Structure 1
Amino acid sequence: MAETEQVEAPEQEQKSDQVEAQNVEFSEAQEGDVTADETSLDILLDITMPITVNLGKVEVPFKRLLQLGPGSVLQLDKTVGQPAELCVQGIKFATGDIVVVDGCYAVRMKEVLGIDPPAQQAEQQE
């Protein structure tokens, strides 16, 4: 059962300096088979996730950073032809090649991490 104790509260605008606190006892949760049916996961399928495409990176001293301006060039750590990294919330999930589609940059997926290419899947099924 719940026990009641008197606890002194910090002084607050001339209010009562006693607060009633009760201990609470919770029943223990029982283990069971919890399964999510397909319809409960469907609500997640419409969530949009921002994807970041990383072309490369460079580290510069703070002094150099302050000197950057229009026309400055920063050489990245990747060479031409190396795939870009695709990330969701900072976690790399794929690589791809940078291409142009209708005048806009795009990414042609090269590899999705954690997923076997179709050829490997076919070999595993045999």
Structure 2
Amino acid sequence: MTTETASPQIARKATDLAQVHDVPVRVSAVLGRARMEVGDLVNLGKGSVVELDRKVGEPVDIVVNNRLVARGEVVLVEDRLGVTMTEIVKQNAG
């Protein structure tokens, strides 16, 4: 396959994708989860620690519109936290 025959197909995909560039999505980085009773929840205060189901160094889940799409690591960008993707999660078609 030459570049000349592949170019229109690639250009079309880029054009199709351009139509959704302005669609907002909700992106979340999930550090972990915890289960607790409501009574314990209302007793939390400043300085309380909630133990999560993840260990230090484990990847965090990157979720887009409530769907797991990747895993990554927490990084520090100047004075803010960020997440770098280390693995794309493939979803089953079924």
**Does TM-score exceed 0.5, indicating one fold?**
yes
Post-superposition CA distance 1:11-45 (Å, at most 9, x none): xxxxxxxxxxxxxxxxxxxxxxxxxx654552112
Runs of 4+ aligned structure 1 residues displaced above 3 Å come to: 37-41
Aligned residue in 2 for 1:89: 65
The structure carrying a bigger helix percent of its residues is 2
TM-score, normalized by length of structure 1? 0.57
1:111 aligns with 2:67: no
Q: Which residue does 2:52 correspond to in 1?
A: 76
Residue 54 in structure 1 maps to residue 20 in structure 2: no
Q: How many residues align?
A: 79
Aligned residue type for 1:80: V
Matched, 1:45 2:7: no
Bigger relative contact order (CA 8 A; separation at least 6): 2
Instruction: Look at both structures and tell me which one has the larger radius of gyration over its CA atoms.
Output: 1
Counterpart residue identity of residue 25, structure 2: M
Cα gap change, 1:40 to 1:95, in 2 (>3 Å): closer
CA offsets 1:103-126 (integer angstroms, 9 cap, x no match): 1101111101129xxxxxxxxxxx
Q: Among the aligned pairs, what percent are the same residue? A: 30
Equivalence for 2:43:
67
Unaligned runs of 5+ in 2: 1-11
Q: What value does the CA root-mean-square deviation take over the aligned residues? A: 1.9
Matched residue of 2:19: which SS? helix
Contiguous gaps of at least 5 residues in structure 1: 1-36, 116-126
- C-alpha distance in 2, partners of 1:72/1:46? 40
Other-structure match for 1:34: none
